[in-house]
């Protein structure tokens, strides 16, 4: 029997595994929101000896050229799920892995490197999970300006909403990111059946 904190990880993994789209949001306000697809694809248990995911974000009109890719490792903590973030050393080699499992299987631990200070912390609140980036040291340079990432996520069984902003490390003013509301995605397809067999009965 898994402990409660481990059950949180399993529940979060089941909800996160999927193909998400903000098509409805983009259609209702195309000037403010491009049509984006987000894929969270489970990795094999052996990759991290635990729960892991590959993620990919791309504009719907150009799915083979994702603008964001990452690897995520779930770490058990009391009352919350701590998700380490990793970058791919040569991300273009794995473009499309969110939709093609054959590409996904070519990703190995040697292909990635840790993104320190950029982990996400998730806690369950009622019928959703809320996540946020740890601290203010996840540094990103945009247009010659040093910024830190502020990321907030809400996840339910069938929806995913994210608000990412970059704030100037000195003035704390917003430099990049969403100027209006969160990006709001709906799950088009679940990949929960691809989670490792060890989690299937939970």
Residue 81's φ and ψ, nearest 5 degrees, are: -120, 120
Assess whether pLDDT exceeds 50 at residue 25.
Answer: yes
Model confidence at 1: pLDDT above 80 = no
Instruction: Give the pLDDT of residue 4.
Output: 47
Averaged pLDDT of the chain? 93
Residue extents of the structural domains in the chain: 4-189
**Beta strand 183-190 pairing with 159-168:** antiparallel
What confidence tens digit (pLDDT) does each residue in 175-199 have? 988 777 899 999 999 999 999 987 7
What CATH class does 4-189 carry? mainly beta
Rounded to an integer, what distance in angstroms lies between the CA atom of residue 59 and that of residue 67?
A: 8
């Amino acid at each position: 029997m898994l402990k409660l904190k481990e059950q949180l990880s399993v529940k979060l993994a089941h909800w996160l595994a999927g193909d998400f789209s903000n098509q409805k949001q983009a259609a209702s306000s195309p000037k403010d929101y491009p049509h984006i697809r987000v894929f969270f694809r489970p990795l094999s248990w052996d990759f991290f000896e635990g729960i892991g995911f590959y993620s990919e974000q791309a504009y719907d009109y150009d799915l083979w050229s994702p603008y964001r890719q990452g690897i995520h490792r779930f770490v058990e903590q009391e009352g919350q799920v701590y998700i380490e973030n990793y970058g791919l050393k040569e991300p273009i080699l794995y473009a499309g892995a969110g939709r093609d499992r054959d590409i996904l299987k070519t990703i190995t631990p040697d292909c990635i490197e840790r993104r320190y200070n950029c982990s996400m912390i998730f806690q369950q609140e009622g019928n959703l999970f809320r996540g946020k980036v740890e601290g203010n040291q996840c540094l990103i340079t945009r247009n010659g300006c040093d910024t830190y990432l502020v990321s907030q996520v809400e996840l339910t069984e069938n929806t995913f909403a994210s608000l990412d902003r970059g704030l100037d490390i000195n003035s704390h003013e917003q430099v990049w990111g969403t100027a209006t509301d969160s990006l709001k995605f709906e799950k088009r397809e679940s990949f929960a059946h691809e989670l490792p067999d060890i989690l299937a009965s939970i």
